[in-house]
Structure 1
Amino acid sequence: MSVEIREITDKKGLKKFITWHWSLYKGVEQFVPPMMEFEMSTMSKDKNPAYKHSKGRFWMAYKDGQPVGRIAGIIHGEESKATKHIRFGWIDFIDDMEVSKALIQTVEDWGNAEGLNKIHGPLGFTDLDFEGTLISGFNQLSTQATLYNYPYYQQHFEELGFEKAIDWTEGRIKVPLEDREFIEGMDRKAEIISKRYGLKIKEFKSGKETLKYAEDFFQLLNDTYSELYGYYKLTDEQVKYYIDSYFGFVQKDFILMVVDENDQLIGAAVTFPSLSKAFKKAKGRMYPFGFVHVLKSFYFNDTIDFFLVATKDAYKNKGVNALLWKRLLAACAKHGIEYIFSGQMLEDNSSVNNLWTKYESAKDEEIRRRCYTKSIV
């Protein structure tokens, strides 16, 4: 029987779109289901301000009456004008070339109708959404901010004519708290940088205090991420959306900020206790009981995940990261953290990747995700 593609047009359909792949990965230890509430917000035109300048459509594939795949098509306002690209994301499918081909063709047809001639993905509306196809590191538990997929995805994309656009890698390290020489060296370096440039580590009495710097932090992201693949500056509405979405969950000890003598933000990193195991226990739903597992993870955890990190251009390569790491290591010692996961790093972003090469790895296989691209025929 041929593949039938059905577009999602209502809330009930979106819920099925979000949850279908949970059954696809049932029993896969490394898969972490995203939270239903967050996914619904991202896909909702009423909540996600990305829809003010972008378009998003969602489809599911059926075969013999059963769901066998899903895909989102995204036309990013700025990107579509600048590069004639359409994005695909939230893609999952059974190991059937007919299914993956039908899904991609659906997005290509939409792009062609809109005058676009290239397709790339997996990507989301912004750089803060899920992106990349896992091509190595299948034995590693995904973080709450990264995707898991089966190894056959790579073969499907290549057979469909896609080529590599860019790769993201992850660093996973053991916290070197027992290496006194390393810790003392980091402290000395941080002290030198602090005195040389008049910088200091910001200490917070509560998570709410970090909100004072939240807008400055996202402005810092806009300034420093603008040259990265697929990144487009967040609007004021999007900044508020992400502040409301994420800063309400922050734990003060894991928000790292460096300011100058005028209390201006110079560098910052947002990290979270790992929520991967909590999300699995919650089975992708915050309510009615999932929040209990999430709350426990904030206080009883041995792993933290980097979410976002940025340094002002004028201070890059001047050792600001030493102050961030000094503060992070102190937080790890205080909370008994043993592992730090970097999150996704573009492979050509050497200033970030180099930070992780000096530490002992806590993984036994490289974690790499790929963005694919091709011309629309």
Structure 2
Amino acid sequence: MITVEKVHTESQKKEFLEFPARLYQHDDHYIRPLNQDIESIFSPEKNKFHKNGECERFLFKNAQHETVGKVAVFINKTYQQQQPTGGIGFFDCINDQDTANFIFDHCKNWLQQRGMEAMDGPINFGERDKFWGLVIEGFIEPLYGMNYNFPYYKDLFENYGFKIYFEQLCFSRPIFAEVSRLFTLMHAKHSKNPNLSAKPMTKNNLKKFAEDFTEIYNKAWAAHGEGKCMHDSKVLKMFKTMKPIINEHISWFVYENEKPIAMWMNLPDTNQWFKYLNGKFGIWEKLKFLWIRQFKKNEKMVGLVFGVVPEWQKKGLEGYMIWEGTQHLRKHTDFKVTEMQWIGDFNPKMIKIAENLDTTVTRKLATYRYLFDRNKKFEKHPIL
């Protein structure tokens, strides 16, 4: 018999964090997320999505009162779909289909009571940039903010009836591997244009780069499907948050007569440091983090955002920017591998750019969808 506990006490919040740590204790690839990153998602003061949504999390106990699963279930009104669709995330479960079915049924009932007709998962009660998707291929160390799970989770979802709404592809390549000849040719071509310049992002001018990022992002991405505009103030706040880990050699902007037209944003993979902190980030852990960051080389960087304004697309500008940045970071950093944050299979344009970089797919995640009306036709995410 399984019992359900709604998480609200401090001991229950702690168990929500500790259960996966016990579950994965013998998995060498597992990196425990920072407790504060998880808890902030469920804090109305720290997560703006609580203003227009609803979220609850649950623990599931067996007859011996041992935790056998956990999940968060939520409604995010900014998550626009053809039918009212809720979300589930932060799912962890023992390798037992009956237990998983019980958890999924609980989520389904919770969402149906609130007028939902489908549920997606595992997703985040927030933006797609963190804790989104189920690993289905490439069970290696997760990047910072990326989900990780056992291979059997795929069966738990699919045996219940979830279908893949879209796949999330992560591309990787060695920093010192040969760059596509097409990119070097485009670099040679655009280098002759005196109106073009490529500049690395610097910490002492975050306001300018936040404005440039916003301009490029809104032109390149806002018109896509479920995309939305960003604002200078939000981007600047994000940049200030990232400032302690920004590496000034690995994020690049391209300008035409000082007007921003392209960007290639990267950060060090902080999980290469955080994996030694066991999910904690108090005063002692912060001091330990500073020591680790100083003396332990981080050899992996993460591609966050890539964008070219519409009037410069299909002109090879990305080759100019990437080769310009790559030549520089090879000389000034210790990075050996770059991995791009996931690209949805609904975005063939970005996939093509990744493939042109001679990358390989190192892992796949999946966003699953379950329609409550089992007779309704299932449709995948529309192609952009």
Common fold: TM-score over 0.5 = yes
Distance 1:223 1:285, change over 3 A: farther
2:309 pairs with one of 304, 308, 312: 312
Q: Does the 8 A contact of 2:249 with 2:333 survive in 1?
A: no
- 1:89 aligned residue: 89
Distance 1:305 1:55, change over 3 A: same
Query: Distance in 2 between the 1:288 and 1:271 partners?
Result: 27
Query: Distance in 2 between the 1:52 and 1:215 partners?
Result: 27
- 1:343 aligned residue: 341
Q: Return the offset for 1:113.
A: 1.4
Question: Share of identical aligned residues, percent?
Answer: 16
Unaligned runs of 5+ residues in structure 1 are none
2:254 pairs with one of 251, 258, 261: 258
Letter of the 2:111 counterpart? G
Q: Secondary structure at the match of 1:29?
A: coil
- 1:137 aligned residue: 138
Residues 79-131 of structure 1: CA deviation (Å, up to 9, x unaligned): 35753110111111111222212222222222211211011121111112211
Letter of the 2:273 counterpart? A
- 2:36 aligned residue: 37
Q: Return the offset for 1:313.
A: 2.8
- 1:156 aligned residue: 156
Distance 1:34 1:376, change over 3 A: same
In terms of fraction of residues, the more helix-rich structure is: 1
Letter of the 1:144 counterpart? Y
Q: Secondary structure at the match of 1:272?
A: strand
Distance 1:315 1:22, change over 3 A: farther
Distance 1:219 1:26, change over 3 A: farther
> Which residues in structure 2 correspond to 1:56-205 (within 5 Å)?
56-63=55-62, 64-79=64-79, 83-124=83-124, 125-138=126-139, 140-176=140-176, 179=178, 182=179, 186=183, 188-193=185-190, 196=193, 198-204=195-201
Residues 35-69 of structure 1: CA deviation (Å, up to 9, x unaligned): 12222222211012222333222112111211111
Residues 243-289 of structure 1: CA deviation (Å, up to 9, x unaligned): 4433443122122222231x333222321222223221111222234
> Which residues in structure 2 correspond to 1:229-244 (within 5 Å)?
239=235, 242-244=238-240
Q: Does the 8 A contact of 1:49 with 1:241 survive in 2?
A: no
Once structures 1 and 2 are overlaid, which stretch shifts more, 36-45 or 283-292?
283-292
Q: Does the 8 A contact of 2:180 with 2:358 survive in 1?
A: no
Residues 181-225 of structure 1: CA deviation (Å, up to 9, x unaligned): x58974552252355593321245x42323422254256445544
Q: Does the 8 A contact of 2:170 with 2:364 survive in 1?
A: yes
Letter of the 1:92 counterpart? D
Once structures 1 and 2 are overlaid, which stretch shifts more, 64-73 or 294-303?
294-303
> Which residues in structure 2 correspond to 1:218-233 (within 5 Å)?
218=214, 220-221=216-217, 224-226=220-222
1:273 pairs with one of 254, 268, 274: 268
Query: Distance in 2 between the 1:163 and 1:69 partners?
Result: 21
Query: Distance in 1 between the 2:43 and 2:188 partners?
Result: 47
Q: Does the 8 A contact of 1:166 with 1:229 survive in 2?
A: no
Once structures 1 and 2 are overlaid, which stretch shifts more, 296-305 or 159-168?
296-305
